[in-house]
Chain A
Amino acid sequence: MATPNAGSATQQPAVEATPIGQRLAALLSSGFTFLILAALCLVFAVLQGAKFANPNNAQNIAIDASQLLLLTVGVTFVIVTAGVDLSVGSVLIFSAVVAAKVMVRFAGSAEEVRAYEFPNQEVAIPLGLAAGVLAGTAWGLLNGVLITKLKMPSFIVTLGTLGMALGAAQLLSNGTTIPNVPQDVQLKLGLRELVGFDVGDYRIRLTPPVLVATIVVVLAALALGRTRFGRYTYAIGSNAAAARRVGINVDRHLIKVYGLSGLLAGVAGGFDLLRFGTASVGSHQADNLAAISAAVIGGTSLFGGLGTIGGSVIGAFIPAVLRNGLVISGVAPFWQQVAIGAILILAVYLDQRRRRAEERM
């Protein structure tokens, strides 16, 4: 405090002494997930050498993590508001199917498309991707509206839309992989080398999915950490009644947050086409739990008010590194899920301990 005469009578030495210790404890346990990530990389690098630790593989990991990263970022905003979004995996699938259907529909006549000719693909591909993003956003907004206007728990609403979006995707696709998608969405767009350079024998390529995921992460980190939007997100998760009292339009903000989560799931749906050239309803069904786990491992509290994008990024990379390293090591990749479960429990346990220490008064 600047004023010299301020509070001569209210010295609180006992309270003033704690922050350094507190900050150290906070650093240790929030650094915990980063340590896990670093340790995993180190272990695989030591065991597998250049098979794991090479620029190409780093790039593979980044591409592999990009979809989960998008979902995790969206879910982080939701969880910070003390809500949850279980629908993101289904919304991803729905968006991918919509994007694929739109591409097939507008790329050429039915005969042309069946003959793998796509005269209008320059229009059809961006149109399809945009339709996917819009579809995802629509599901997200629907979640937000139902949660705020019907005053329903987010768990229930998004559990409902999880089923609805998945069922709708299966109806649209007849339950199978969408055929006759213009291959250029993968070959010319998804695998396109935006920037490339050689590192020894390896070639590093920046492809659109990685670029988009990077931009999303940076923007999201700024939005949550530096803007009023982020401040309101924390405030609502911390004490929604207080947020209302100070005039924050809580309902509108929550609708935006769920809309954002849906939008990012829609973008992640587009990534299916960029990466694999098609949309299938078979995968991604557990992505919602993977994204929530990643956010929580990264320090986001399910009770709201706490969480950072940086933490969530680390949380989303841990499963990608694990899967990649296990495959390279010749170990069944299913171990990844076992390990993630254990890390989740450990991370939350440490976090709880830290918070209890911080909040005892």
Chain B
Amino acid sequence: MDGTRDDPEPVLQAVGIDKYFGPVRALTNVHFAARAGEIVALIGDNGAGKSTLINVLTGVLPHDGGEIVFDGRPVRLSSPQEARALGIETVYQDLAIAPHLDAVANIFLGRELRLPGPLGALGFLDRRRMLKETEEQLGRLRVRVPGLGRRMTTLSGGQRQGVAVARAVMWASKVVIMDEPTAAFGVAQTGQVLDLMRQVRDTGIPVVFISHNMPHVFEVADRIVVLRLGEIVEELDPKSASIDDAVRAMTGSTRFTGVGIKAEFVARTGEGRSVGNA
């Protein structure tokens, strides 16, 4: 079993990150790492700063202190493209898809394939090749998107999310970050996404997984990092810690120990596969 603390070198690392929104301190001295071969869950209450940390790590937002280390080198990410160029792919909480375009167009958005020859030089798109590559990749990942040629507005919320997840997994070469990727999913699709995360992890690409769903987190994560009010307060090992421990760490109290949550956890995992990883 991998996932022990200091095995491989971190691929992507936040070192003492501070982030302010005006006077509001959203992140305080955050240390966070994603290592090859692990799914690291980032959990915390609403407004804890999870999305902000992701936005900093992917070049969407500038940070005010600390640094980002990628493959052992400090990097400055001043735009999301720079993060993508490094092989960091993200499913953003707001999905970042263009709803009037179809799935293929969204998957290739910003990296369109052009026709060979002079037409391509003029900017003409190779729509057939983009469709073919999308089908191949999605098939390989065993992701199903109904109607690849349909406008995203005509897909359900879960299906849109499926496209966003597929896009990230398809292009990532170094790190995949997923901010609430299962929020709109039904049971079957959630199982698919969790499987997908394991698949990606097993190819050696670390996965950062943000979710409010503790059963999901405990099902797939190799390591759980808890953020509270912009600070990392605890790191949990899902094999030894309980959901109660996680909730306590997130809320900073013991008042909300949820028997209900635990029951749900058992029910969910009982229906599917074993909790352990491949």
Contact = CB atoms under 8 A, between A and B. Distances in A.
Interface in A16-52: 16, 18-19, 22
Given A12-B146, A361-B157, A234 B100 contact: yes
B97 interface: yes
A229 B97 CA distance: 18
B114 A228 contact: yes
A135 B101 CA distance: 34
A246 B80 CA distance: 7
A77 B136 CA distance: 33
Interface in B141-170: 142-147, 150-151, 153-157, 159
Nearest to A248: B110
Contact of A7 (B101, B151, B192): B192
Contacts of B84: 246-247
Sort chain B's interface into a size bin. 35 or more
A354 to B, nearest CB: 12
Q: Which of B99, B100, B143 has the most CB of A within 10 A?
A: B100
B105 A231 contact: yes
Interface stretch (B15-23, B119-127, B231-239): B119-127
B135 interface: yes
A218 interface: no
A10 interface: yes
A188 interface: no
B173 interface: no
A226 B100 contact: no
A262 interface: no
Given A2-B135, A247-B110, A9 B79 contact: no
A246 B110 contact: yes
Contacts, number: 120
Contact of A226 (B124, B157, B192): B124
Sort chain A's interface into a size bin. 35 or more
A306 B142 contact: no
Interface in B61-111: 79-81, 84, 92, 94-101, 105, 109-111
A241 interface: yes
Nearest to B140: A3
A298 interface: no
B142 A7 contact: yes
A18 B154 CA distance: 9
Contacts of A238: 98-101
Contacts of A223: 123
A1 interface: yes
20 contacts: A1-B135, A5-B142, A6-B138, A6-B142, A7-B143, A15-B155, A19-B147, A227-B122, A231-B112, A234-B98, A235-B101, A242-B109, A246-B109, A246-B111, A247-B79, A247-B81, A304-B100, A305-B99, A358-B154, A361-B155
Interface of A: 1-3, 5-7, 9-10, 12, 15-16, 18-19, 22, 222-223, 226-229, 231, 234-235, 237-239, 241-248, 304-306, 355, 358-359, 361
